[in-house]
Each structure stands twice: as structure tokens, then as C-alpha cells.
Amino acid sequence: MSSPPSLTTVLREWGRIGCIGFGGPPTHIKLLRDLCVERNRWLDAREFEDAISACNLLPGPASTQLAIFCAWRVRGRSGALAGGIAFIVPGLLVILALAALYLAGSPPLWVLGAGAGAGAAVPAVAVQAGTFLLGPSWQRRTHTIRWHGYLAAGAAAAATIGPWLVLVLLGCGVLELAAQRALSLRRHPDTHGIDTRGIMALPALAVGAVTGGVLLSVAWVAFKVGALSYGGGFVIIPLMQADAVSHYHWMTGTQFLNAVALGQVTPGPVVQTVAVVGYAAAGLAGGLLASVVAFTPSFSFVLLGASRFDRLRADRRARAFLDGAGPAAIGAILGSAVSLTRALTEPWQYAVLAAALILLLAFRRGTVLTLLGAGVIGVIIAVAGGPLPH
């Protein structure tokens, strides 16, 4: 490993990735690899791959955690804080500015058209995201029947009982953990038990969110996004949709589609979408609060546990839990396409959705370009006097 960079260098380089990191986790991983492994040799290739594996075992946005970990590895805790913030802030500023534009009382006609067009393509992005994750998850499965059951449970929950999806994800993880523990006990009777105290504390947090004010509700939704989501950035969509649209009524279905599209086309972590939800609920304070709460677990995981990431990768309980929660999360991503499609109201939006599905799945075009193209179609329809969703 070469000499460690200064904090100024960390701020500059991680901030650069935060500014140009369009395309979600694959882009972030490539940029971080180029920076830390190929160009500067701050980490070796094996350590970087191990970090990816460890971050994928944690709940929350894995590429954000990887960015924070790499900054921790090259400059310690101060580097983790500086690098993580530099990685997150550029996209946050952009998405909050766009949220103010989209959620204004009387946004320009072209803005409404762009949102309606890009929003129509969002269910296709969900299908693409879930389909991309199916293959690796299938290859890692430990029990075929249970894997199918977790996948179906996640899909059904996302499509029907969105507010309770987080309990389904946790339940699938605990069920698989218990199943593998039972098998382990038959082989090794001295295996230790399972600590569920953290899971049992969740209902208390949920009760507090239901009985508290708007900001507490925003914090609860953001906490679920940052600390209880498994399976990649897009699983946050079904976690947020039912809360933001149906339960708290902070947004219409159309506005939520626009929020998801904004999270996809802006740089940095896809989890930034939660800032739009927070903005819709309580203005700028709500957007900032949602972002802080959603990303705090990622910083905590790295600052408190980065030195034990190697043990996390070897921890059978962590892997067992993810063997259940992971397929359920993929099912939730696919199931979210159903609820997202229900939010479409105009016939031309379904045509845009069909075209987006063809581009993303058949021609394997990029998500950002597909959403931007759909937005342009929406602008043309709006300017030509076509119908727009309300």
C-alpha cells in the first residue's frame, strides 16, 4: 500500500465520485476500485473484494458503505467521515434542488412532463434491478424451496402490504437463520443461540413513529431505508412507497414516481430518494433529516465495525440471515413494479413503460439514459398539449 492520502485529498477524490457517480452501485464500485486499487494502490485487490462482500452482508446502501470503508481504510475515522460526507453531499444538494422544483405548488409545464415521462419508466427500472439480482442470489441459495418462498413473500408484501414489508424482510432472515441453526445443532450440539434483542426493539420504534409528529415519522421511514433494507438500493422503493403515499399522504403516486426517477438520474447513492420524501413531508428540514437518518447507520457500521469486517464475512449467522432476507428483498423489488405501475394514470405512460422494458431488458441500455429519454418524451407530450397525470 502506498502512503496514505491527506484529508484534503480524501475530500477531493470522494467528492469527485459523488459528483460523477451516475448509474448507481456498479458505477460507484468501479470508480472506487479505479481510485483506491488501480491508480493509487491504497488497497490491494483482495482487500477491496473482501470489503464489497462484507458491505453486501450489511443492511443499507452497500456502495455508500464501501465508499465510507475505503476512506476509513486509507485515512482512519476522520477519513471515513470526510470521505463519506463528500460522497453523499453533491447528490443530496442536487436532489433537494430538483425536489423543490418538482414539488412546487405550480411547477412549469415541462417539469410536469419530464416527471410524468421519467416516472412512467420507473417500474421497468425496478424489474431490471430485481432481474439483475436473481442470478447471483439463486447461485448462492442454500435451500431451493425456502429460497422460492422468501422471494414470493417479498414480492407479495411489496405489492400488497407495503408498510409491513420491513417485518417480512426481517422475518425471512430470522426464519432462515433458525432453519440453518437447527441443521447446525444437529451437527454441532454446542452451537450458541440467536440474539434477537435488536429485532424485538423494532416494534417500539414503529409505535413511536405512529404516535409522534411529522419529523419523527420522517425519521422512522428514513431509518427503515438506512438500517433495515437488504438487497441493494432499489429495495428502498417498496419500503418508502406505502408510507409516503398511502399511510402518511405526503406525496401522490405520481410525485413518488418522480422522486424515484430523481434518485436514479442524480449522482451518488440511490438512497438519496429518501430526501425527496422527507422534503415532501416537511420541506428542507424534512429532506435533510431524512438524509441524515438514512445514512447514519452506514457511518456507524463502518466506524464501529470496520476492523471486524473480515470476521463478518466468515460469520455464519450473518450469512444465514442474508440467505433469507436477500431473496425476500429481491422479491420486494420485483413486487414494487406492480405498485409503481398502479400509480400510472395516462395511456401514453404505459407505452413509455413498455418501451423502457424493451430498452432495459432486451437491449440492455443504461438506466440513466433510459429515464432521461422517457423524460424527454414526457416534455414533448406536455408541450404539445397532451394529458398529464394529476
3-state secondary structure 135-164: HHHHHHCCCHHHHHHHHHHHHHHHHHCHHH
The confidence score (pLDDT) of residue 212 equals 56
Instruction: Copy the grid coordinates of residue 208.
Output: 413511536
Instruction: Copy the grid coordinates of residue 206.
Output: 414503529
Q: Once rounded to an integer, what is the mean pLDDT over residues 63-79?
A: 95
Rounded Cα gap, residues 5 and 7, in angstroms: 7
Name the pLDDT band for 264 (thresholds 50, 70, 90).
confident
Q: Is 388 left (phi over 0), alpha (psi -120 to 50) or beta?
A: beta
The confidence score (pLDDT) of residue 2 equals 64
Numbers of helices and strands, H then E, in the chain? 17, 0
Radius of gyration of the CA atoms of the chain, in A: 21
Mean pLDDT comparison of 69-83, 135-149, 156-170, 232-246, highest-scoring range? 69-83
The confidence score (pLDDT) of residue 232 equals 64
Average of per-residue pLDDT values in the chain: 88
Q: Once rounded to an integer, what is the mean pLDDT over residues 31-55?
A: 91
Rounded Cα gap, residues 262 and 221, in angstroms: 18
Q: Which helix (H) or strand (E) holds 68?
A: helix 62-102
Please, are residues 205 and 223 in contact by the beta-carbon 8 Å criterion? yes
Residue type for position 349: Q
C-alpha atoms less than 13 angstroms from C-alpha of 269 in its C-beta half-sphere: 32
Rounded Cα gap, residues 121 and 386, in angstroms: 18
The confidence score (pLDDT) of residue 133 equals 84
Q: Once rounded to an integer, what is the mean pLDDT over residues 154-177?
A: 89
Please report, rounded to a whole number, the percentage of residues in the chain having pLDDT higher than 70: 92
Q: Once rounded to an integer, what is the mean pLDDT over residues 33-39?
A: 95
The dihedral through the CA atoms of 162, 165, 168, 172 has a sign that is positive
Rounded Cα gap, residues 27 and 87, in angstroms: 13
b/e burial code for range 334-363 (CB count within 10 A of at least 16 → b): bbbbbbbbebbbbebbeebbebbbebbeee
Mean pLDDT comparison of 40-44, 133-137, 230-234, highest-scoring range? 40-44
Q: Is 76 left (phi over 0), alpha (psi -120 to 50) or beta?
A: left
